[in-house]
Every structure is written in structure tokens, then in C-alpha cells.
Amino acid sequence: MKEITQPFRGISRYLLFISVLTICCTDSAAAQNSTPLQITVDPDQTGPVINKHIFGQFAEHLGKGIYEGVWVGPDSEIPNTRGLRDDVIEALKKLKVPNVRWPGGCFADEYHWRDGIGAPEERQKRLNASWAGRVEPNTFGTHEYFDFLNLIGAEAFISANVGSGTVQEAADWLEYLTATGSTLAEERAKNGHPEPYEVGFWGIGNEVWGCGGPFTAEEYLKELKQFSNFSTNYNPEMPTKHVAVGPDGDGFGEYTEVIMKEWAQKSWAWNIQGLSLHRYTRNGWPPNIIATDFNEAQYAAVIHETLGMDGYISRNKVIMDKYDPEVQVGIYVDEWGTWYKATEGSPEGYLEQQNSIRDAIVAALNFNIFIRHADRVKGANIAQMINVLQAMILTKQEKMILTPTYHAFRMYVPFQNATRLDIEFDAGSYESGEVTLPGIDAVAAQDDKGRIIIALTNVNPKEPTTIELSLAGISIKNVVGETLYASTIDAINTFEDPENVSPNPLSPDISEGKITVKLKPQSVTILTVEKE
């Protein structure tokens, strides 16, 4: 028996050792998971001002983006102001929308501005060749656009027609908008607006390497110089920034080099203040990711592609820094956002898709990237504002709902024109299959009242994350918070359940000069800190 029991006694000891080791490792892993991630913000280390225009919107004559989304007509039973939806106007006011890019997109390079002025019943009807051949009644034109901007408090970002238009047509449009005393100014007055309009941004074409041309970079450069030279703003109340077409996220990178090299040795006759970059999150072309009922792998794939925005901007910054070290030309990412497979049963070419908590995460991560590049990124426009792609608002006749992306925009309002602060943090990690992503992301800023704003995004859909936040040398008076969270990665708002994904107040703990907050999975959180 002794010879038999000894081996079993050895096995028992081995099993006991393995059990103890397992318990220790489990405890260690649990301790690691429960150990707060450290974030430090130094209010004395300030960066550039975060230009409010990185929170811009985009409204194209596409699907139900304009007609039903913005414009219902003055005779509609849907409450409206001069034909513009009251519910949409009130919702957009809360976003403090800095600018709205219009009329496109691809539509801009088939749009002739004279079709959209004068008596509505006398306006030209056209077929929208860019988007499904829908009849374009032009009842929403120049004056309706500026009326809309006035109601929501936004600036104008107009994309001029380079593809099918002429230099003279663009020059006449800007004169019509901004001049006094000329025949075109008198025509504007007869159409109901004696005072000149203010045009903040003048986009010289759109995607001229594709639907807006197509031109090589060198061919477009010739057009750019002519359009810039003859596009004159006559309203001294607001200078107009000229924004040139730059590359797409999937190619045409030579545009930045060609345009910036020529700009660096330009003559007095032309100038630009901005270069447009486009980049969508769409996982290939045609888009192959679904907007609803997706799995964790599809969630992670979208987040992974979104984070590529940082490298895309960085690569273009290197070129621009070479030719423009004083940063006179800003980057305008005037089309960005998620582009999924269209909603089943929606009209062809309307680009209708749902909007989940995943899209709010995408929006927050893009905001953070723009903020980190605030020295060069001076504007951005999400595609698009209503009923199209990554929309803020969805409408269904008289009904309206706010999307998770809308809530992300509203929560980030305090970052508009705030001063970026240095922030250091341990991002941790989140893994899904072969994809490894940062567990969290964070940015910080100080507003004009001295309050410190911190944005915290928990990318991880599996685990909550505890954050311990330190403010170097700051005595904390009060902290208020707000978090956008949903219990599943594909949670959406519907017309039947419009509040399913919506922000809730958060009360962080303050102890020994540090702020502790537990971030729920797949969540966006904003903290506002008042100093003593």
C-alpha cells in the first residue's frame, strides 16, 4: 500500500498547488480588472483652440435629407416656419450647429443655383442624376437654405459647382449672395433679402477626382486657381474661406501634394484657407457592414476602421507642414461617418440606415481625433444631418427621433472653441478575435469660464472600466457628469421607443483631490469640473 499511496500523495500535492495557483491568478486578474485606469490632466499645459467648426453638419439633396428632413413646405400639416420643420429646428439648436455644408456632395456638381431662386412655382424641375434620378423640385434653394441657417444659428458652407458649372456661374452666385448695389444684388432683394448674406466657407468643387469631375490633381489645380480668383465675396462683415478639394480616404493622395506645393508658390490672384479631406467608415466598397443586429466582430471592425482617421490626418499633415509650416491652410474633413448597407426595403439610392450606440462611439472617437489634431484640423462635417447615413435625426412624416449620434454631438458642445489640455492616460486594451483596440479614449479642454471638460469613451463592450482622474495642482469644487450607454452594442432608437439610447446624469466620486468614475461598457461620458 505504501508504494501505491505515495504517488497519489504526490498527485494530491500537485493538484493542491494547481488549485492555489489558479486562485491566485484569478484573484490577480480580478485585481487587475478592478484597478482603476489612471488619467492625468494638466490645466497648465494648454494646446490649440478646438475650432467649433469640427462639429459641422452636412445636408445634401439626397433621399429624405432635405425634403421631409428639413423642408416640408409652408402648406404642410407638419408644424413649420416658412416651410422648415419646427421640430428639427429646435433639435438642431441644442447642438449649436456651427455650419451646414450644402447642397452636396455629388449633387453640388450638378446644381445650378438659378434653378433654386425666385417664385417656387416657377423654378426648374430637374432629375437628380447623382442620387436615384429623383425629381428635384428646387423648392429648397438659396433663400430657404439661408433661412434655415438663420433659424438654427449656423454659418454657410456652400459647395460650388465645378464639375458641370462654370467659373462665371460660381462668381455670379457669390456676388448674388454678398454684394450690394449690383444688378445681382437687386435681384436678391427682389427675391426677399435686401441685405447681403454672410458666407463663411466656399467649397471649390466636391470630390473632383470622382463624381465632381473627374479630374487629375493637375487638371483640378487649373480649375481651382480660376474659381478661387473669380469667386469674390463682397460682404466685409464676414470673410469667406476658400476650401479646395483634397484626397479621399481610399485614394487620390497626390491631391494634397500637388495643391499644397502650388499654393506655397502662389501668386496674389488666388488663395485657399482650407483643404478638404473625405473619409468614411464603411469597411470596403460597396459597404459591407450592417447597421443593426450586428455581432461583436462587426462592432470591433467598425471601431478599428474608424481609428484609422488618425493616421489619415497625420499623413496629410506631414505634407501640409512641409509647404505650410505656419498653418495658414486648415484641414476640413467635410465628409466623415459610418456608411453601412442601406436599410432593407428603403428606396434605392436614399442611403437610409439606422444608428446605434456603436455610431455614438464612432462619433466620439472621431471628435477626439480631430481635437488631438486641432492645430491643423479647423473643420469637419458629418455625413449627413438628417435621414441619410450617420444622421443626427430620423423622420417619418410628422414623427422625429434623435439618434445616439445626435446625443454624442450634444454632449460634446462644451468643447466648441475650448482650449485643449494635455492629458495622459492608460488606455488599457480590448480584444475581439484578431482585433486589438484601446479599451478607452479620452480628451480634455478648458472652456472660457475656466471649467475643465473631460470626454471619456469606453470602447470595450464587455467590461465596465473604472477611471481615476487627477487634475495637477487643481482644487476641485464640483463635478457633474453625463453618460450615453446602452446595454447592447446594437441598441437603437425607434419611432416606437425613441428614448432607448439617451444620456443619463452621472455623479462621480471625489476623494483626496481625485475623481473616480465607473464607465459602463460601450459608453460615452462627459465630465465638467469646476475649480475652487
Mean pLDDT of all residues in 159-187: 98
pLDDT at 13: 36
Instruction: Report cis status (omega within 30 of 0) of the bond before 286.
Output: yes
- DSSP-derived secondary structure letter, 195: S
Are residues 201 and 58 part of one domain? yes
| Collapsed DSSP state (helix, strand, coil) of residue 64 | coil
Are residues 397 and 449 part of one domain? no
Are residues 437 and 295 part of one domain? no
> Which residue range(s) make up the domain with 504?
35-48+420-531
Q: Quick check: 208 and 163 in contact, CB under 8 A?
A: yes
Rounded distance between C-alpha atoms, residue 300 and residue 272, angstroms: 38
Q: Quick check: 256 and 320 in contact, CB under 8 A?
A: yes
Residue showing cell 504517488: 7
Rounded distance between C-alpha atoms, residue 152 and residue 96, angstroms: 8
What is the CB neighbour count within 10 angstroms for residue 284?
Answer: 9
pLDDT band at residue 473 under the 50/70/90 scheme = confident
Least confident of 50-54, 380-384, 399-403, 471-475: 471-475
Q: What stretches of 81-182 show up as alpha helix (H) in DSSP?
A: 86-93, 142-152, 167-178
pTM above 0.95, yes or no: no
The residues that bridge with 338 in the sheet, in sequence order, are 281
Are residues 453 and 325 part of one domain? no
Given a cut of 60, is residue 24 above it in pLDDT? no
Question: Is residue 87 situated within a structural domain?
Answer: yes
In sequence order, the 6+-apart residues with CB closer than 8 A to the CB of 351 are 62, 63, 339, 342, 388, 389
User: Which of 416, 436, 462 is the last residue before a domain boundary?
Assistant: 416
Rounded distance between C-alpha atoms, residue 516 and residue 9, angstroms: 49
Q: Is the dihedral of CA 224, 226, 229, 235 positive or negative?
A: negative
- For the CA atoms of 512, 514, 520, 524, the dihedral, rounded to the nearest 10 degrees, stands at 150
The residues that bridge with 386 in the sheet, in sequence order, are 393
In sequence order, the 6+-apart residues with CB closer than 8 A to the CB of 466 are 34, 35, 36, 37, 516, 517, 518, 519
pLDDT band at residue 27 under the 50/70/90 scheme = very low
Q: Tell me the CATH number at 187.
A: 3.20.20.80
DSSP H/E element including 310: helix 308-323
Which of the following is catalytic: 175, 223, 262, 335?
335
- For the CA atoms of 120, 143, 203, 417, the dihedral, rounded to the nearest 10 degrees, stands at -150
pLDDT at 34: 65
Question: Is residue 3 situated within a structural domain?
Answer: no
Extract the C-alpha cell encoding 222. Answer: 487649373
Are residues 303 and 435 part of one domain? no
Given a cut of 90, is residue 283 above it in pLDDT? no
Are residues 379 and 469 part of one domain? no
Share of the chain above pLDDT 90, in %: 87
Given a cut of 60, is residue 2 above it in pLDDT? no
Rounded distance between C-alpha atoms, residue 338 and residue 82, angstroms: 32
Given a cut of 80, is residue 33 above it in pLDDT? no
Are residues 82 and 39 part of one domain? no
In sequence order, the 6+-apart residues with CB closer than 8 A to the CB of 435 are 297, 300, 301, 304
Given a cut of 60, is residue 10 above it in pLDDT? no
**Category of 424 on φ-ψ map: left (φ > 0), alpha (ψ -120 to 50) or beta:** beta
pLDDT digit string, tens, across residues 321-337: 999 999 999 999 999 99
pLDDT band at residue 106 under the 50/70/90 scheme = very high
Question: Is residue 21 situated within a structural domain?
Answer: no
Which of the following is catalytic: 60, 68, 136, 207?
207
- Clarify whether 352 is annotated catalytic: no
pLDDT at 472: 85
User: Which of 382, 416, 450 is the last residue before a domain boundary?
Assistant: 416
Query: If we measure between CA atoms, which residue out of 69, 72, 55, 137 comes closest to residue 351?
Result: 69
Q: Tell me the CATH number at 465.
A: 2.60.40.1180
Question: Is residue 217 situated within a structural domain?
Answer: yes
Question: Is residue 408 situated within a structural domain?
Answer: yes
CA atoms lying within 13 Å on the CB side of residue 85 = 23
Rounded distance between C-alpha atoms, residue 367 and residue 465, angstroms: 21
Are residues 333 and 261 part of one domain? yes
Given a cut of 70, is residue 15 above it in pLDDT? no
pLDDT digit string, tens, across residues 235-254: 999 999 999 999 998 889 99
In sequence order, the 6+-apart residues with CB closer than 8 A to the CB of 268 are none
Given a cut of 90, is residue 35 above it in pLDDT? no
Mean pLDDT of all residues in 218-230: 98
pLDDT at 20: 38
pLDDT at 513: 85
pLDDT at 21: 36
Mean pLDDT of all residues in 333-357: 95
Rounded distance between C-alpha atoms, residue 458 and residue 432, angstroms: 15
Are residues 366 and 441 part of one domain? no
- Clarify whether 335 is annotated catalytic: yes
Are residues 338 and 212 part of one domain? yes
pLDDT at 250: 82
Given a cut of 50, is residue 526 above it in pLDDT? yes
Residue showing cell 469660464: 449
The residues that bridge with 466 in the sheet, in sequence order, are 518
The residues that bridge with 518 in the sheet, in sequence order, are 466
Question: Is residue 388 situated within a structural domain?
Answer: yes
pLDDT digit string, tens, across residues 55-75: 999 999 999 999 999 999 999
Domain count of the fold of the chain: 2
The angle at the Cα of 187, spanning 186 to 188, to the nearest 5 degrees, equals 90
Question: Is residue 24 situated within a structural domain?
Answer: no
The residues that bridge with 514 in the sheet, in sequence order, are 470, 511
Mean pLDDT of all residues in 311-319: 97
Given a cut of 90, is residue 231 above it in pLDDT? yes
Residue showing cell 494638466: 42
User: Which of 416, 442, 468 is the last residue before a domain boundary?
Assistant: 416
Are residues 258 and 289 part of one domain? yes
Are residues 331 and 457 part of one domain? no
Question: Is residue 23 situated within a structural domain?
Answer: no
Given a cut of 60, is residue 40 above it in pLDDT? yes
What is the CB neighbour count within 10 angstroms for residue 511?
Answer: 8
